[in-house]
Structure 1
Amino acid sequence: MAGALPTTKGVKDHKIWKGIFAVSGIMVTLVIYGVLQEKIMRVPYGLNKEYFKYSLFLVFCNRITTSTVSAVFLLASKKALVPVAPIYKYCLISASNILTTTCQYEALKYVSFPIQTLAKCAKMIPVMIWGTFIMQKTYKGFDYLVAFLVTLGCSIFILFPAGTDVSPYGKGRESTVWGVSLMVGYLGFDGFTSTFQDKLFKGYDMEIHNQIFYTTSCSCILSLTGLLLQGHLLSAIDFVYRHSDCFLDIVLLSTVATVSQFFISYTIRTFGALTFAAVMTTRQLVSIMLSCVWFGHPLSWEQWIGAVIVFGSLYSKNLLKKASTNPPPLQPMQDGAPSPVKGIP
């Protein structure tokens, strides 16, 4: 019947609006998340210019918010809360995720946000290493070339700063080396986290919110334990109590972090990992530019070259992969109507 099926133009327009929704959601939430990270860890609060030093408290707030939302979602959708995989596997992801986030926040004490953001682009290297050991994956020579170029660009960006961006926690080479060391730790733990998550999804019939609930619940327990052992819980609460603007920043940070997870899952499910990677690359670039304008981070000409090498390599990889994975054209049927190669899911 005429009109029984949506027209090609209608399907395309619907896909475009979905894309606008997904890209806008990721860009807005993660850019706000990045700016808030830097504000909380590097901008002083109050008349006495006090710095917030309790990065593990931020991890705890983020994870307890995400855990609560995922539990509500599972209950509302009437899906089981029982663990699908052994608890220790959730805890392993949780522990590496906590170390990832803690290194990320701590690094902001010693390196600027643009340096940290660009360094995150080098996460493909630890992912390739962990993928080889955990998933027994093999990679092509082009993948290693892109990884080398990204590493080169990040190294140039870090080694040739403009020279006027001073860390509030220390000065000189010592603080920079410690900040870079924390970023190396971040990349290593983050690579293990995403690779082991992938292994868990492939090894078990696991719903994404089930994994989110158990990993974030474990993270709540581990981060709270760490705060108690360090004696930082009451100090962090006291700081937040004395600085209401810091409290609002942390609430917004936790909210944005949770909402961003929805957009990330939606984008990967709707458009695939390749489109998501391109969006994330763009988000890193926007975050760097916004941080430079908002917090006054100057960039040297060497850093501009490093940024061009990094983003040029990543975009080239995404474009080449997209070109190589384009579906074959529709084959005409005998009556002249197009016939899709595969059924539309």
Structure 2
Amino acid sequence: MALFSERLLKGTFAVVGIMTTLVIYGVLQEKIMRVPYGKNKEYFRYSLFLVFCNRIMTSAVSACTLLASKKAIDPVAPIYKYCLISISNILTTTCQYEALKYVSFPVQTLAKCAKMIPVMVWGTVIMQKKYRGQDYLFALLVTIGCSLFILYPAAGDISPYNKGRENTVWGVSLMIGYLGFDGFTSTFQDKLFKGYDMEIHNQIFYTTLCSCILSLSGLVLQGHLLLAVDFVFRHHDCFFDIALLSTVATVSQFFISYTIRTFGALTFATIMTTRQLVSIMLSCVWFAHPLSWEQWMGSVIVFGSLYVKSFLRSAPQKPVLPEQMSDESSNQFNGKP
């Protein structure tokens, strides 16, 4: 009985931690990119600045963790391999933030569920993995559900930046870029872990350090650094939102690592699927996103497929190479939700 109570307490801690941090993260993403600030209704347009802020905090935390644990801080792999992950990671996150200018957060969140497709493609190309027919079937069902959700938006769900179908197409293109780059990032990370005796925080530190340098360089070259700093200086609530976004992005990694270590990847995948569903519902209520009946049908297909897939994976079967079913589970090693 005591053992059950202890496990229940740990499970509650993990679920509450992940759901709280990542739901807050999702709401803040949408608020920063889609809700105007100040009396003049100005929109924050500097997505690379958000990447820089997130990465510099994660880099600092990972460095402190390495120093506190007295583990080697020297790079284990060649620096260019960390940089390759970093470049892909920056492109992933930039596409994610930019897409929020043109598609709503519910559309983006559901589209992330289709990440299993590029992961399977990159896994076949880079890692020579082989997948079962069942995996391809679930990937197809998720794709159909996401397509319904994206192609049949409700009439009142429009972009705050521009109107028109061409901008929706641009938003969907950014999401496709996000999925492709994110699939490569997680697959190449997996390859790096298998090829080197590497600590998780070692990869986090050098990857995010490269990301800090690259994102800062990009901001300077675009001339956006001073504009972004000026924006947050004039709008203190935006500064608070960005600081909170970076904080919950970093804290969420603790809960992700704790959950996987304590309960395994299956429980974590189920929690993440539930979190995505809660995020969509909360966004629809908070930001008044209407959903068409086709979008409701697409949601049922996607989340139904993911839950069935999770439960089937819990049944005894031959060992297979792990799949990363969501945006957050694929990013447990690179410090980004």
Output the TM-score relative to the length of structure 2. 0.93
List per-residue Cα deviations over 1:265-320 (Å, max 9, x = no partner). Answer: 22222222222111111110000000000000001111000000000000000001
Aligned counterparts of 2:59 and 2:12: Cα–Cα separation in 1: 27
Aligned counterparts of 1:313 and 1:179: Cα–Cα separation in 2: 25
Asked if 1:124 corresponds to 2:124, the answer is no
RMSD between aligned residues: 1.3
| Alignment correspondent of 1:201 | 193
List per-residue Cα deviations over 1:138-175 (Å, max 9, x = no partner). Answer: 00001000000000000000111111011011111110
Q: CA deviation at 1:107?
A: 0.1
Asked if 1:190 corresponds to 2:205, the answer is no
| Alignment correspondent of 2:224 | 232
Q: CA deviation at 1:10?
A: 2.9
List per-residue Cα deviations over 1:206-228 (Å, max 9, x = no partner). Answer: 11111111111010001001101
Aligned counterparts of 1:69 and 1:311: Cα–Cα separation in 2: 34
**3-state DSSP of counterpart to 1:209:** helix
| Alignment correspondent of 1:137 | 129
Match for 1:310 among 302, 308, 328?
A: 302
Match for 1:24 among 12, 16, 21?
A: 16
Aligned counterparts of 1:26 and 1:105: Cα–Cα separation in 2: 21
List per-residue Cα deviations over 1:56-98 (Å, max 9, x = no partner). Answer: 0000000000000111111111111111111111111111110
Match for 1:216 among 201, 208, 231?
A: 208
| Alignment correspondent of 1:67 | 59
**Gap runs ≥5 in structure 1:** 1-8, 327-345
**3-state DSSP of counterpart to 1:324:** coil
| Alignment correspondent of 1:243 | 235
Matches within 5 A, 1:1-345: 9-324=1-316
**3-state DSSP of counterpart to 1:323:** coil
Q: CA deviation at 1:12?
A: 3.0
Aligned counterparts of 2:238 and 2:143: Cα–Cα separation in 1: 35
Paired residue type of 1:68: A
Aligned counterparts of 1:89 and 1:308: Cα–Cα separation in 2: 39
**Segment drifting more, 230-239 vs 197-206:** 197-206
Aligned counterparts of 1:68 and 1:24: Cα–Cα separation in 2: 25
**3-state DSSP of counterpart to 2:42:** coil
List per-residue Cα deviations over 1:18-67 (Å, max 9, x = no partner). Answer: 22111111110000000000000000000000000000000000000000
Larger Rg: 1
Aligned counterparts of 2:14 and 2:52: Cα–Cα separation in 1: 27
Q: CA deviation at 1:204?
A: 1.2
Aligned counterparts of 1:270 and 1:137: Cα–Cα separation in 2: 27
> How many residues get paired?
319
**3-state DSSP of counterpart to 1:57:** helix
**Gap runs ≥5 in structure 2:** 319-337
Paired residue type of 1:62: N
